[in-house]
């Protein structure tokens, strides 16, 4: 059955590529085009419909951006039904929103999305804010620099970069998510091509989809992305940028080897693309075998847009971070920041500057490491001793997450596992949340120990194992 034979372009103001994309979406929703069906080649469909190739390319790009198609490199475009993943994402989000502070004490939050626990010393924060107000008075509420509090910029450069950066390149942002958004608005245009890790941070995927760019995914291995597949995409496509989380990648917990970082930087120069480096948890290294050398430290040709968040190490809920712009994009990214929210809270910037310059952050980082390494060790021990036959994982050696994949004999849909665990007040993040296609990640999930103390970890892991076994037994008809 040729579903395209009855399609006719309307003679109205709606662009032809939009009309075609809407028609194909309707056919997918009605299941006349089934999940996984290969869409016609660009040349074939353009000939059948009497339009140029650009119209078909634009229609297919729109379908991909809206979740109705995906691309296999070297093979073509394929249909997918959007609503399953979309509806589950809404269900996941709504389930977490419904958690009230009153019942958080009864919940095991392996998602890390709630704020049941704050390990930052609140008294320190009070003292810092009082000191800033006494010192600066009303000026504490005023911004002296649209790019951020000048003293904070200088302090960041001195303490974290040994004054090796240009202060003009540093922009204070309201957390890593805003940094990604600013970078995206500043350098990406509609239908630009970008590469992301597979899987990757859902917040970044959301930003890139809003920018209507074409996403290419490269599988991530134990020490970073697969370089062979990465370079093949670079050879066939004009790539604008590569988004990466270089330490404790979300969700996999993987950190890049120095060798892969150097090679990727070389490729950035060869193929003329830029790297957006999201460094959000590099302070939480638990093993000496893991050395801290971000892409930006190795960046000799100004190819890296570096984004750093203080939200996990300063205070959850107080969104602060900074972005380091390559000189070529400095003005563009500054304008992008100003157009987003003009300025970030002056009071909290001054408090952060006092916190960093006074060296109080070092003790807090040590205390966080001491606490989180205990949770990491406990969860790793349970996984090794109790889940060896059930699942596999790559040891992150730091950070706040484990990313787990179920073995064949215990393979269940982790969206179903999420729903089952939710009834028992245990919350996980199913793997599908970190992919562009609903077909991926169905047998994987992420566990975070960011909001779980030792008692909750013990309880949650016991319930997790019970529910996996229960679902598997039901599937087998026991």
pLDDT in tens, 312-353: 776 666 789 999 999 999 999 999 888 877 667 888 899 889
Interval 215-248: pLDDT, tens: 999 999 999 999 999 999 999 999 999 999 999 9
10: exposed, middle or buried (C-beta count within 10 Å: 0-12, 13-18, 19+)?
exposed
In the Cβ-directed half-sphere of 229, how many Cα atoms lie within 13 Å? 16
Give the pLDDT confidence score for residue 315 in this predicted structure: 62
Give the pLDDT confidence score for residue 371 in this predicted structure: 92
Whether residue 9 is contained in a domain is answered as no
Whether residue 1 is contained in a domain is answered as no
239-244 vs 274-279, strand pairing mode: parallel
Instruction: Note whether 332 and 293 are same-domain residues.
Output: yes
Whether residue 371 is contained in a domain is answered as yes
Instruction: Note whether 167 and 190 are same-domain residues.
Output: yes
pTM of the predicted structure, to 2 decimals: 0.80
Give the pLDDT confidence score for residue 15 in this predicted structure: 85
**Which segments of the chain have a pLDDT < 50?**
83-85
217: exposed, middle or buried (C-beta count within 10 Å: 0-12, 13-18, 19+)?
buried
Least Cα distance to 222 among 439, 379, 392, 386 occurs for 392
Instruction: Note whether 240 and 188 are same-domain residues.
Output: yes
Contact 16, 46 (CB under 8 A): no
The first and second tokens of residue 23, run together, are 């028609």
Instruction: Note whether 55 and 100 are same-domain residues.
Output: no
Instruction: Note whether 387 and 465 are same-domain residues.
Output: yes
Whether residue 4 is contained in a domain is answered as no
Instruction: Note whether 194 and 133 are same-domain residues.
Output: yes
Instruction: Note whether 31 and 151 are same-domain residues.
Output: no
Instruction: Note whether 326 and 445 are same-domain residues.
Output: no
Instruction: Note whether 389 and 303 are same-domain residues.
Output: no
Instruction: Note whether 409 and 301 are same-domain residues.
Output: no
Q: What is the CATH number of the domain that holds 405?
A: 3.90.1150.10
Provide the domain count of the chain: 3
φ, ψ dihedrals at 331, nearest 5°: -65, -40
Whether residue 5 is contained in a domain is answered as no
Instruction: Note whether 128 and 96 are same-domain residues.
Output: no
Contact 337, 147 (CB under 8 A): yes
**At a CB cut-off of 8 Å and minimum separation 6, what does 6 contact?**
none
Give the pLDDT confidence score for residue 84 in this predicted structure: 46
Give the pLDDT confidence score for residue 316 in this predicted structure: 61
* Domain hosting residue 76, numbered range: 16-80
Whether residue 316 is contained in a domain is answered as yes
Q: What is the CATH number of the domain that holds 212?
A: 3.40.640.10
Q: What is the CATH number of the domain that holds 39?
A: 1.10.10.10
Whether residue 10 is contained in a domain is answered as no
């Amino acid at each position: 059955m040729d579903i395209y034979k009855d399609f006719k372009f309307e003679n109205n103001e709606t662009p032809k590529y939009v009309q075609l994309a809407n028609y194909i979406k309707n056919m997918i929703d009605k299941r006349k085009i089934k999940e996984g069906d290969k869409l016609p080649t660009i040349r074939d469909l353009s000939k059948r419909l009497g339009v140029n190739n650009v119209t078909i390319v634009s229609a297919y790009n729109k379908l991909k951006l809206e979740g109705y198609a995906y691309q296999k490199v070297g093979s073509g475009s394929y249909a997918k039904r959007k609503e399953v993943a979309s509806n589950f994402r809404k269900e996941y989000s709504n389930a977490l929103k419904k958690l009230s502070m009153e019942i958080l004490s009864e919940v095991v939050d392996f998602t890390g999305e709630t704020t049941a626990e704050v390990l930052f010393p609140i008294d320190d924060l009070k003292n810092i804010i009082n000191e800033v107000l006494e010192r600066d008075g009303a000026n504490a509420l005023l911004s002296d620099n649209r790019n951020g509090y000048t003293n904070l910029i200088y302090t960041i450069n001195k303490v974290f970069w040994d004054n090796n950066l240009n202060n003009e390149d540093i922009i204070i942002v309201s957390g890593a998510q805003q940094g990604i958004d600013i970078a995206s608005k500043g350098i990406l245009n509609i239908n630009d091509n970008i590469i992301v890790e597979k899987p990757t941070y859902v917040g970044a995927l959301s930003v890139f989809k809003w920018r209507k760019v074409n996403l290419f995914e490269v599988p991530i291995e134990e020490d970073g992305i697969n370089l062979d597949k990465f370079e093949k995409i670079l050879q066939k496509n004009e790539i604008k940028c590569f988004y990466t989380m270089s330490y404790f990648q979300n969700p996999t917990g993987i950190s890049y080897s120095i060798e892969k970082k150097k090679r990727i930087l070389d490729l950035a120069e060869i193929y003329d693309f830029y790297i957006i480096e999201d460094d959000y948890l590099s302070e939480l290294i638990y093993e000496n075998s893991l050395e801290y050398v971000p892409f930006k430290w190795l960046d000799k040709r100004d190819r890296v847009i570096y984004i750093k968040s203080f939200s996990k190490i300063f205070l959850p809920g107080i969104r602060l971070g900074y972005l380091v712009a390559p000189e070529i994009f400095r003005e563009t990214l500054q304008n992008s920041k100003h157009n987003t929210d003009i300025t970030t809270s002056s009071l909290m910037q001054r408090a952060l500057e006092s916190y960093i310059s006074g060296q109080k952050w070092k003790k807090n980082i040590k205390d966080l490491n001491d606490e989180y390494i205990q949770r990491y060790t406990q969860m790793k021990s349970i996984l090794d001793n109790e889940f060896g036959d059930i699942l596999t994982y790559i040891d992150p050696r730091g950070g706040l997450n484990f990313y787990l994949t179920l073995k064949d004999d215990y393979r269940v849909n982790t969206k179903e596992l999420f729903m089952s665990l939710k009834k028992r007040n245990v919350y996980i993040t199913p793997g599908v949340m970190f992919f562009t296609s609903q077909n991926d990640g169905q047998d994987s999930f992420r566990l975070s120990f960011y909001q779980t103390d030792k008692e909750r970890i013990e309880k949650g892991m016991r319930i997790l194992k019970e529910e996996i076994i229960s679902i598997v037994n039901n599937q087998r008809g026991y």
